[in-house]
Amino acid sequence: MAPTPTLSEQGPMFAEQRNARGNRIALLVLGVVVLLVSGVYLALHFATSDKLPAGTTIGGIDVGMSSIDDARDTLTKELAAPAKEPVRIVRGKKTFELTPEEAGVAVDVDASIAQTGADTSVWNPFTMLDILLGEEAYPVALDVDESTLSSAVASIADDTDREVAEGRIDFPDAKPEVSEPKAGRAVDQEATAALVRDSYPLKHTDLKLPVDPVEPSVSSDEIAAAVSEIAEPAISAPVTIVAGDKTADLEPEDFAPALSVQVEDGELAPVVDPKKLAEPLSEATKEIGTPAKDATVVIRSGKPVVVPGKSGVGVVPSEVATKIVPVLTKSGDERTLEVEPKKKEPDVTTKDVQKLGIVEKVSSFTTNFPYAEYRNVNQGRAAQLVNGTILEPGETFSFNETVGERTVANGFTTGTMISNGVFREDLGGGVSQVATTLYNAGFFAGLEDVTHKPHSFYISRYPVGREATVAWPSVDLKFKNTTDHGILIQAWVNRSTPGRQGSMNVVMWGTKKWDISAGLSSRRNARSPATRYDASDKCVPQAGVAGFDVDVYRTFKKDGKVVKRETITARYNAADNVKCQPAPKDGKGD
């Protein structure tokens, strides 16, 4: 038997055949592997395409391995109810509610899904694995109208913010009076807007409003120190004004109303208001030059006449207000300042008054009153203080500001007035008749009724529903000049005597804009008076008066056509029948 030939003896042809067979096997294995990998890859592709990652939550809602369409449906359903709820922001016991529309926020479902990276076609193998194995929490995406949101937050801030009250010292009656500093507060508007964006739509109730304190620039201790270091020296003595060879003393009582100690550039400093200083300065320095006179309007022979203004020469308030500050904390001869008299133009020029167009009677009204000397005094004094008042266009008249507190020093005496539903004796009794007459003159002039309060019960000498009471300082009569021209108020009293009624008269002059007529509804909601017993020495007996409600109609006409109508409702309480005696023990009356 012949031996088997070795590989080298078999020759190169046989080796080539062996190598070719090995390559075919390798290619076959490789093909199988490629097919397997491709199959797995394709399986992964079809399993992950149009899917969200397995552990995905949006706003806490599980949408893992959902298709984009399914996720959209789930989110739309789950977020529908909370997305309609108002945003509730709380500060203490107060809650601010904003509808989503008012807050400018809305859920954006598509953007919520898009942020997860989900796509309709996924070919990246790493993305496929991330979809299968990933776990991620996403917020709900919003469509935010930043302008609307900012406006809503600003509105909350307007309601909440409180300006810091810096401490200051004023000088009523020429004595230091301290106003303590108070911290303010300010809404952090940027943080509030972020809070809304971060919390909507799932956690947007009971959000705590971010508010920052705003501290005063100076402390109470610094204010207390300023009293002894600035305020008390300031009013310790007069200030001497030197103008050439003339001098004048400005007493503390003269400059104190214009003086205050305020915060300036973070520190307390004395400040003098030139406008408040002008009148007392003019009086104190009247020997230095001649005072200027403002132009005005007076009534002569039943017609408005412009009285021209006149320039003068004297001490200028603004100059004194600046130069007086450094000497206020000094003493002796150092409390002196030098000024140069200058030409002074009137504050109100002739041209200013002419532009007001006060050329004719606009309205007038008169009310009568029975004899009582206190009525003559009090109404006469109030009329005197009101007479000559000029209201520029847009300006508001205030009875209390014009007449002032009803005191003996201000020219008033004790009279009868209504207090707590009954008549009582008090200073200024009777001035409500002046207010009522003014109210009616303003009513028929077409002026805007800013505020007025009818008497608590009806007084028969006044027009039903068209009357006004006043009380210092809380109850006021205010009306606004809404015309394009000035209004001059003329007021006077025809005194009463034991045998003749008096009358309160008001005429308003300007340029007539409307024809005003008044109407009245029937009375309704009748209220019956009760009986009240009062054994005090302040008791004033009175007969009971029924209460009722009534509407007053004001019609504006121009060129014979109705421009507008207004309805004003007056509600009168019943006036008790007051008996100045102790209440009967049996409770049945006498």
Residue 244's φ and ψ, nearest 5 degrees, are 65, -125
Joined together, the tokens standing for residue 408 give: 């003996």
pLDDT in tens, the chain (590 residues): 556 555 455 556 656 666 666 666 766 666 655 555 444 444 444 444 567 777 889 888 988 888 888 889 999 998 988 889 999 999 998 999 999 999 999 999 999 888 887 764 444 555 545 555 556 888 999 999 999 999 999 999 999 999 999 999 999 999 999 999 999 999 999 999 999 999 898 887 789 999 999 999 999 999 999 999 999 999 999 999 999 889 999 999 999 999 999 999 899 999 999 999 988 998 898 888 887 889 999 999 999 999 999 998 888 899 999 999 999 999 999 999 999 888 888 889 999 999 999 999 999 999 999 999 999 999 999 999 999 999 999 999 999 999 999 999 999 998 876 555 445 677 788 899 999 999 999 999 999 999 999 988 888 889 999 999 999 988 999 999 999 999 999 999 999 999 999 999 999 999 999 999 999 999 999 988 888 888 887 777 878 788 899 999 999 999 999 999 999 999 998 877 888 888 887 655 55
Q: Which of 64, 216, 214, 184 is nearest to 130 (CA)?
A: 64
| Cα separation, 306 vs 296, whole angstroms | 6
Strands 57-58 and 137-138: parallel
Instruction: Phi first, then psi: give them for residue 202, nearest 5 degrees.
Output: -100, -25
Tokens 């409600």 belong to: 549
Q: Are 483 and 358 in contact (CB under 8 A)?
A: no
Task: Provide the residue type at 377 as one letter.
Answer: V
Spatial separation of the C-alpha atoms in residues 50 and 548, rounded to whole Å: 76
CA–CA gap between residue 33 and residue 38 (Å, rounded):
8
The span from the CA of 134 to the CA of 117, in Å, is 12
Residue 517: which H helix or E strand, with range?
A: strand 515-520
What's the rounded Cα separation, in Å, for the pair 465 and 95? Answer: 39
Question: What DSSP element (H or E) covers 276?
Answer: helix 274-284
This prediction has a pTM of 0.55
The distance between the two most distant Cα atoms of the chain, rounded to a whole number of Å, is 176
pLDDT of residue 43: 43
CB 178 within 8 A of CB 189: no
For residue 497, what are the contacts with CB-CB under 8 A and spacing of at least 6?
371
**For residue 32, what is the enclosing H or E element?**
helix 12-48
Q: Name residues whose C-beta falls within 8 Å of residue 161's C-beta, 6 or more positions apart in sequence.
A: 184, 185, 186, 187
For residue 376, which of 464, 232, 494 has the smallest C-alpha distance?
Answer: 494
Task: Give CA–CA dist 192/196, Å, rounded.
Answer: 6
C-alpha separations of 421 from 392, 455, 469, 517, 529 in Å: 37, 9, 13, 31, 11
Sign (positive/negative) of CA torsion 399, 403, 407, 412?
A: negative
